[in-house]
Amino acid sequence: MDIANGAALPDRDTLLDWYRQMVLIREFEETCYELYEEKRITGVYLHLYSGQEAVGVGALAAIEPRDHAITSYRDHGVALARGVDPGPLMAEMMGKRSGVSGGKGGSMHLASREHNFWGGFAIVGGHLPLAAGIALEAQYSGRDDVVLCFVGDGSSNNGYFHEALNLSAVWRLPVVWLIENNLYGMGTHIVEASGQPLLHKRALAYGMRDGGRIDGQDVVAVNCALDEAVAHARSEGPVLLEALTYRYRGHGVSDRQYNVRLKDELEEWKAERDPITRLGACLEEAHPDSRPAMSALEQAARDQVLAAVKFAEESPAPDADDLVRNVYVE
């Protein structure tokens, strides 16, 4: 079984739920790409999660509703895995008032207080000090909430990364720092940008637990590693670990050379390590009667995303009053 390296599998219902989330994310992201091409989603930037679904789904399954999640600008998939409704999410893509951020944030600034999902930040690494701050508040208030912070490999070389991780170690903050290493920071390969390309080893410099490198295309392996990391963070302090994954689209939709420049490598990852295909094969091997259920989930994802697009397009645009809404306390 080409998944989890022999680790015990969750039950069938759990695997099917993870499959549901992953196909929903893929359908949502690929639809966003099409809508952008049709100029129904506008703007300069749109960063898609296609190919990385197993990281978000496996990781978020390891935390509880009372815990917190925060990420950078490749955030749609993480939001969906956290349980944010696709309708308001798509409305935010289109800048509508019914969007999760009132149409003011767009693709890179998603948040949902209801889900303890705090974004969605456009500044590279800018969310890392905020993750430390959320963890500090929980610790100060005497709660054992954990903060799961997704970190791009490209942000692991900037100052925010050093400052936030160092402080989390000094104060033993309950943070799981999860690096999503998709090999390319914008267009530069990790080995050309980092003196130590095994990014999880940076944990040693900060005196925190090294959670190692995991297969980010294997949702079961991600979940197993995150279960352990979350338990450690909740009682002992921060953990840094690295998920090796791969994105199927360019850094953003404006990157027109990614599919051409990396054509062979990209096709190899899709053919041999696609996270949805691997989970599907695992399900069929462990539970041979699962194919009809999987097909139904795939159709449900298509229907759900179509409904989300309809909701977004029928939603009202912000008006002049929205310019100052939420700026001043009433």
Q: What is the pLDDT of residue 163?
A: 96
Overall average pLDDT of the 199-213 stretch: 97
CA neighbor of 250 nearest in space, from 260, 239, 240: 260
Q: What is the pLDDT of residue 6?
A: 59
Contact of 26 with 50, CB cutoff 8 Å: yes
Pairing, β 68-70 against β 147-152: parallel
Q: What is the pLDDT of residue 1?
A: 44
293, amino acid identity: A
Q: What is the pLDDT of residue 2?
A: 58
Contact of 240 with 166, CB cutoff 8 Å: no
Cα–Cα distance for residue pair 245/235, rounded to 1 Å: 28
Could you tell me the domains of the chain? 45-84+115-293 (3.40.50.970)
Question: If phi over 0 gives left and psi between -120 and 50 gives alpha, with beta otherwise, what is residue 218?
Answer: beta
The H-or-E segment that residue 241 falls in is: strand 239-244
CA neighbor of 150 nearest in space, from 133, 169, 128: 128
**What confidence tens digit (pLDDT) does each residue in 6-60 have?**
568 999 999 999 999 999 999 999 999 999 999 999 987 899 999 999 999 999 9
Count of beta carbons in the 10 Å neighbourhood of residue 92: 29
What are the CA-CA distances from residue 73 to residues 53, 76, 171, 266 (Å)? 15, 8, 27, 22
Check whether 3 has a pLDDT greater than 70. no
Mean predicted lDDT score pLDDT of the chain:
94
Overall average pLDDT of the 155-165 stretch: 95
| Whole-prediction pTM | 0.95
Provide the percentage of residues in the chain whose pLDDT is more than 70. Answer: 98
Cα–Cα distance for residue pair 94/311, rounded to 1 Å: 11
